[in-house]
Structure 1
Amino acid sequence: MSAGSVHEFQQSLARLDTASTVVSPDEFETELKDIIETPAVGAALPFDDLSLSELPVQLEPSPAQLREAVTGVTGARMSIASLGTVAVESRSQGDEFVALYPEFHVVVVRESDIRATLSDAFTWLRAEFEAGRQSLILATGPSSTGDMGALVQGVHGPEQVHIVIIRDNESQ
């Protein structure tokens, strides 16, 4: 993925009042420690070389831990630069619950998993569906609703979102 797509993704996120940080794989744990507000819950990241195990994050949280958590940390194997959208999978590791219950959602995405447009994302989604992975949440910014008049954030999900973009090794 080009640096231009990362820049466009960050611009889209900024328009959505969503914070973002770009880090190398080596900076990942240190950066997350600074971002996470405890108590925190998480789902195992869908990346072989990145883990939450050394961070102050409860993996495989109980329902009580989900209710008490301030931060939820998940990974996303796809995002859309033009929209500031991430795709959170509904896996047995609990990604969906971790993403929606805490008031603060931290999403980890790789630079190479940023798709430029919705059309590019549909190509990825088609391959995922054909592989049998058919349950995803497409999330764009903090949860919000205007059903009752004024726009209110955090009604159906997190009030705040922070995206951590992991630079690809070849672009460091």
Structure 2
Amino acid sequence: MMPAAVETFERSLENLPVTFERVKSGAFQSAVESCIDPPAVGVPLPFDEVSLEESPVTLDPTSEDILEARTGVTPGGPSIAEYGTIVVTSAFDGSGYTSLFPKTHVVVVAASEIVETIDDALKILVEEIDDGLTSAYLTTGPSATADMGAPVYGAHGPESLHVIILGDC
């Protein structure tokens, strides 16, 4: 990860209808809790230094939990600096549903997984596909449509997106 990629990513996010913050691992718990509108669901995070275990997030949610949730918390990455785009994988852990059904999606990305271009991200995804990844989507802000005039958020997914950038850069 290059600090420049993180800065470019943040500048890209500033131009989108999202909120974001960069936090060190010690501040993660309060950052994630400040974004949650209960009830919240999530999937385990793949980062050694942080966890959702102590947060008010239901891990390993049932279908009913997901349908009732107002907030979904998932990991994301790689993230594409030039667009402010985040790859969210959809695995058997429920991360796809957890990120798409609740009104608010909180996505946690590692600063070390922010890359400059979509080509850089695709190189990483090819490796993950070779390792068994079968589904992922790219998100650049909340779900939106403008086919009838002004943008409407939440038409096909979350109405709001909050990005937590985890890292010490």
Name the TM tier (shorter chain): over 0.9
Partner of 1:28: 28
Equivalent AA in structure 1 for residue 61 of structure 2 = P
Cα distance in 2, alignment partners of residues 77 and 122 from structure 1: 11
Please show how residues 23-172 of structure 1 align to structure 2 within 5 Å.
23-168=23-168, 171=169
The Cα offsets for residues 18-42 of structure 1, whole Å up to 9 and x where unpaired, read as 1110011111112111121111111
State the Cα distance separating 1:3 from its structure 2 match. Answer: 2.1
TM-score by length of 1: 0.92
Contact map agreement 2:91 2:134 (CA 8 A) in 1: no
Contact map agreement 1:144 1:153 (CA 8 A) in 2: yes
Cα distance in 2, alignment partners of residues 4 and 48 from structure 1: 24
Contact map agreement 1:46 1:76 (CA 8 A) in 2: no
Aligned residues: 169
Q: Secondary structure at the match of 1:33?
A: helix
* Unmatched 5+ stretches in structure 1: none
* Stretches (4+) displaced over 3 A: none
* Unmatched 5+ stretches in structure 2: none
The Cα offsets for residues 113-158 of structure 1, whole Å up to 9 and x where unpaired, read as 0011111111111111121213111111010012333321101111
Cα distance in 2, alignment partners of residues 27 and 128 from structure 1: 29
Cα distance in 2, alignment partners of residues 33 and 70 from structure 1: 13
Equivalent AA in structure 1 for residue 96 of structure 2 = E
Q: Secondary structure at the match of 1:109?
A: strand
TM-score by length of 2: 0.94
State the Cα distance separating 1:56 from its structure 2 match. Answer: 0.4
Q: Secondary structure at the match of 1:163?
A: strand
Q: Secondary structure at the match of 1:21?
A: strand
Contact map agreement 1:46 1:77 (CA 8 A) in 2: no
Q: Secondary structure at the match of 1:164?
A: strand
The percentage of aligned residue pairs carrying the same residue is 43
